[in-house]
Chains A and B, each alone.
Chain A
Amino acid sequence: MAKIEICSEITGSVWKILVKEGDEVEEDDALMILESMKMEIALESTADGVVRKILVNEGDQIASGDVACVIEE
């Protein structure tokens, strides 16, 4: 089973986390909402799978390219 790292596409802050570890998700599902450029921007899964690890907390700053969570296909 491949592990896929879900990275932030933008620099901003983590506003709301929508999933928890162990949840099943599909490609394009919103995993968390980030706040950047005065907008609420969803961070979406790039694969179908199970959320194995969430590496950020609500309120954290996050940079473009940072791994926010890990999905196992």
Chain B
Amino acid sequence: MPFEEQLRRYRDEEEFALGMGGSEKLARRRAEGNLNARERLDILLDNGDFLELGRHARAMRPEVRHKSPADGKISAIGMVNGRPVAALSNDFTVLGASSSVINGKKMRHLRDIADRRGMPVVFLGESTGARMPDRMGAPGRAILGQDPLEFRRMRRTPWVSALLGSCYGSSTWFGCMSDFVVMRKGATMAVASSKVTSLAINQPIDPEDLGGWRLHTGTTGLVDYATDTDEEAIGLIKDFLSYMPDHNGVAPPLAEVPEGSGEDAGKILEHFPELRSRTYDVRKIIEVIVDRRSLFELKPRFGRSVVTALSRVGGRSVGIVASNPRSKGGAIDVDACRKATSFLVMCDSYNIPLVFMVDQPGFLIGVEGEKLGAPGKIMNWMNALSQCSVTKISITTRKNYGQAYLNMGGGRTSDASACWPTADLGFMDPKVGVNVLFGVREEDDPDRFRELVEEISQDSSAWSLAALYEAHSVIDPRETRRYLIDTLEALDGSDGARVGKHRLSNWPTSF
């Protein structure tokens, strides 16, 4: 056979690359219930098909070339639900998928292609961090920073990350720069591993405390979701991408409207208590407004008094920012501010119109919030909102008090605003106002308290706001879906969202 030797070499090289870190390591992973890097790509990409770049790359250092297939990071271009994506799957069985000169070149090349073609990038993370001893000493420093744009994030295309094991170094950094992050329970994400950290601070540390799912979904907000399995995590990535455009030069694709959407719109009042002192879960209200099965909440365990969710109305992608009185009565705390700002940045970057659903008693005031820089976070949010160029619609359902009225799309910060007849606008609840202004509490002097409440109460109704043409419409709550469909069509046309100016696309990747 002609070229027999060369073709044999080709087969050997293929076998070496596809063999990853070797059968023993792969079997151990399987026994532990962990998928390997190529199995993860098979699940992510349609039919498991993809173009692989750098399959035959190996480590730069000669003494590890024999054990560095693909140099530990598998670079792929394939399709997710018929749309193109670039994917980088870390192969932990190869030198812990540690970051090296060669696999750094692979990552940069993949990102360049995604940018040029205009397609999302998916990072399947599990890595140990910088490769040792490559990065030791001055020569190690000299190989760093050779790509000055390595950590520049311009949001030309959506990025998503799954944290599927121990994530240090690149899996952490690119996770933090992603628009959506999902984590498998048991995975960790941190600046340095628990082993390194324990040595540095000279005390034992639990990896879960250092960077587990509870910390990142509930406290840092760096992770959107935690799942039990890799398959679930990858499934969420596909769901997220379905709301996104391929790149920022186009609107998100219009989806088919699922049968039965809007059928329950009349039941909206079942989820909305008449008593103003009662709380409720706004997600139940959103669910009956939007297209069926299209409520995709981001960061549900973080900053919970504001819900941020991708959704669809009449087949269009929308970003919903909704007060959730179920948490803190809807009072907006620092975490909720951080979450809302990052959501505005994302929606504006990818041409996703914003819908505010407002029932909030104001920002959560107190020493704790001030220590966390509440005023700065509130102004970050306002600055972002002022620069958003996607269509913004605000609906006040109940309370809408204080400065937060503006943050939630009040005044001219929205393109269209509506109120339910139940809306209550003002600077603060008159009962709280009496406490503040006169120092009188209801339980101390009920008659005097009632008198003072009446004295300081102004007309705070939806009708009063509509008469001043600050609310453009007052709508029956049961007509909210219809209102949104009609308003989006009126403002953006019938063929989808407008392409915005993306003034926020280079904003920070966490707040």
Contacts and interface: CB of A to CB of B under 8 A. Distances in A.
A37 B329 contact: yes
B152 to A, nearest CB: 37
28 contacts: A10-B331, A10-B364, A36-B329, A37-B329, A37-B429, A38-B276, A38-B277, A38-B431, A39-B277, A39-B278, A39-B279, A39-B325, A39-B329, A39-B361, A40-B277, A40-B279, A41-B279, A41-B325, A41-B326, A41-B327, A41-B328, A41-B329, A42-B279, A46-B218, A46-B301, A64-B366, A64-B368, A65-B368
Interface in B228-287: 276-279
A38 B431 CA distance: 8
Interface in B325-367: 325-329, 331, 361, 364, 366
Contacts of A10: 328-329, 331, 364
Interface of B: 218, 276-279, 301, 325-329, 331, 361, 364, 366, 368, 429, 431-432
A39 B327 CA distance: 11
- Secondary structure at the A interface, as helix, strand, loop or mixed, is loop
Interface string A27-48: 0000000001111111000100
B463 to A, nearest CB: 23
Contact of A9 (B277, B301, B328): B328
Closest 10 CB pairs of A and B: A39-B329, A37-B329, A41-B329, A10-B328, A9-B328, A39-B277, A37-B361, A40-B277, A41-B279, A38-B431
B375 to A, nearest CB: 18
A55 B366 CA distance: 23
A42 B324 CA distance: 12
Interface size class on chain A is 10 to 19
B239 to A, nearest CB: 21
A9 B364 CA distance: 10
A9 B328 CA distance: 7
Interface in A4-25: 9-11
B227 to A, nearest CB: 14
Nearest to B326: A42
A10, A39, A40, A42 interface centre (most CB from chain B within 10 Å): A39
Nearest to B329: A39
B331 A37 contact: yes
Given A10-B331, A64-B366, A37 B432 contact: yes
Contact of A40 (B278, B301, B327): B278
A26 to B, nearest CB: 15
A42 B305 CA distance: 12
Contacts of A41: 279, 325-329
Nearest to B435: A38
B358 to A, nearest CB: 16
Contacts of A65: 368
Contacts of A37: 329, 331, 361, 429, 432
A41 B218 CA distance: 19
Contacts of A46: 218, 301
A54 to B, nearest CB: 21
Nearest to B275: A40
Nearest to A46: B218
Contact of B432 (A9, A38, A40): A38
Nearest to B429: A38
A9 B329 CA distance: 10
A10 B366 CA distance: 10
Given A37-B429, A46-B218, A64-B366, 19 more contacts: A10-B328, A36-B328, A36-B329, A37-B432, A38-B277, A38-B432, A39-B279, A39-B325, A39-B361, A40-B277, A40-B278, A40-B279, A41-B279, A41-B325, A41-B326, A41-B329, A42-B279, A64-B368, A65-B368
Nearest to A2: B208
Contacts of A9: 327-328
A66 B39 CA distance: 45
B368 to A, nearest CB: 6
A51 B269 CA distance: 33
A72 to B, nearest CB: 15
Contacts of B366: 11, 64
A37 B331 CA distance: 9
A9 B331 CA distance: 11
A64 B371 CA distance: 14
A8 to B, nearest CB: 10
A61 B328 CA distance: 16
Contacts of B301: 46
A21 to B, nearest CB: 23
Contacts of B327: 9, 41
A11, A40, A42, A65 interface centre (most CB from chain B within 10 Å): A40
Contacts of A36: 328-329
A12 B361 CA distance: 15
A64 B277 CA distance: 20
Nearest to B327: A9
A42 B280 CA distance: 10
A11 B365 CA distance: 10
B139 to A, nearest CB: 45
A38 B331 CA distance: 12
A11 B369 CA distance: 12
Nearest to B301: A46
A71 B119 CA distance: 45
